Structure 1
Amino acid sequence: MSHPVASPTVRTAPAGIAPMGIAIVTPSLNRRDFLRQTMDWTLAADPGGLEYVVVDGGSSDGSLEIIRERAPQLAGYVSEPDGGLYDAINKGFARTRGEIMGWINAGDFLFPDSLAVVREIFETHPQIEWVTSRVLSFLDEKGRLVEQGVHQGIARDSFLAGEHLEGFSKGRSASFIQQESTFWRRSLWERAGGRLDTSLSLAADFELWHRFFQHALLWSVSAPLGAFRRHADQLSAVQRGEYLAQAESVLRRHGACPRGAVAQTLSVGLRRSLPRPLRSSATRLGLFQPAPLCSFDAGSQSWRLEWL
């Protein structure tokens, strides 16, 4: 599999300091072929110290054989009926202790250097509590990387106002948060409740991001981290309308109101196209909020924090 966007070279933790542990959970139900690839990709991304837990919902397609073959490389696995995707993820995280957390669904992909990049950023910048990639990456059904795009960052106020949820407000919407490219500190997870909301069958990820934003800014990283696989029978495609409705209910529950078409389109358009020298003026006028970025500086070979 070729990867047109390479991850930056990363450095190890300073001598005498143990690297941060990384807890990754994969939930799966009857996804044997997709599960095999995702497990191998995730294990290949291990920079050392990976706690990888697979939670199978009692599959009948031979998935357990795939898991057992890789069991020596896992921190643990479960194969039993559960309450759905988010119950499975909660169950998996409860079995981990790593300070860096994230989940990768069966079929999706982590870039080879992704976990090393995320760990270096968290170790270098203790003020950062969660990150996502600026690079939105997509696989086809065969697992080939077929599409990538770059977003302009995600500001807290913009997310909480519904700017990043398609159809919530009139006018254009901004980029979503790609779940497989998002990682956080366990301390943030615990402050935000330490669980995914299982009352939401589809949009518990969106609800978790909303809770995270109550406590911390989301830093968008210049490196590609994960990729989403598009296939015909995935829940996000088959039940897209229901996902959007659940996410909208999260926003409305917390008092968000849809914007008018002009205000929404202006905010999104300025974020995508306004030259940097003019952004501070646009911020003072209340036209849009700057977003925090974590970019790789080739000259210093380090991660630089900035606002866009």
Structure 2
Amino acid sequence: MGTTLASQLIPDILTYIASHQLAVGTRLPERALAERLRVSRSPVRSALQQMADQSLLARHPEGGFAVAAAALDATPQAREEVSASERLYLTIARDRIEGELPLKVTENELIRRYQVTRGQLADILRRIVQEGWAERLPGYGWSFVEGLTSPDAYAQSYRFRLLLEPAGIREADFTLDAEALRRCRDEQALLAAGRVFEASPAEIFDANTRLHETIARCSGNAFILDALRRLNRLRRLIEYQKSVDRQQAQRRCQEHLQLIDLLLEGRREEAATFMTRHLGNALQEKQATAAR
């Protein structure tokens, strides 16, 4: 497989096909893939074309690409590749949380520490930069952002969200993006149906933050969306540090489904009240887990 961004996306797209249990002939949504993979639509389009050239996808009668039988056969190998990348990603996250990695580090130091190739490291660093917890310095250096490291700061982040997110739903300029919410609903329904017991902490975190940021974007208030995105970047690493209570995670996904349905039905005030209860429940659960 080549080293272009498009070719690097192919294992992720195959994993998307497997995790969503897509059947042969299912049309692949280019825009949804771009949002999920946190890239522009151009490399996704190139990746889909490459997959078609490899007979992993077929042309859909209504335009775009659809899943071909070969994609289902190729998925296990792709999942294995992604799993190895995920382990390295989480190892770097854990080392940063525990202070094993300094705030500033060079690529060569990371390559020696983790015994990986420069190409493998580039994939991981690309993902970390997209998620906002590191940035490139001039030359070969990288700088990590400082995350939430104390229980008090973590609790404060949830109390801030309790002020911010329900208010976003009540904004006068709130405009429902039904298509984006339905995509989030499909993702949450899959997790609630059992995928949450197999998904990585990163996958669960990404799905949940994608929903909350989608709702914040609907607020029409750019400051609310920006504040939530910044906070989620700080939350990411401490969320990985915590053990995932899969039962609690499933309940939160079920609550997400209720929240989405309230919004899609136009019951905005009920949705804002539900958001307050949902975030309050999540804070109590996480604090109880941390106290054990």
TM-score (norm 2): 0.29
TM-score (norm 1): 0.28
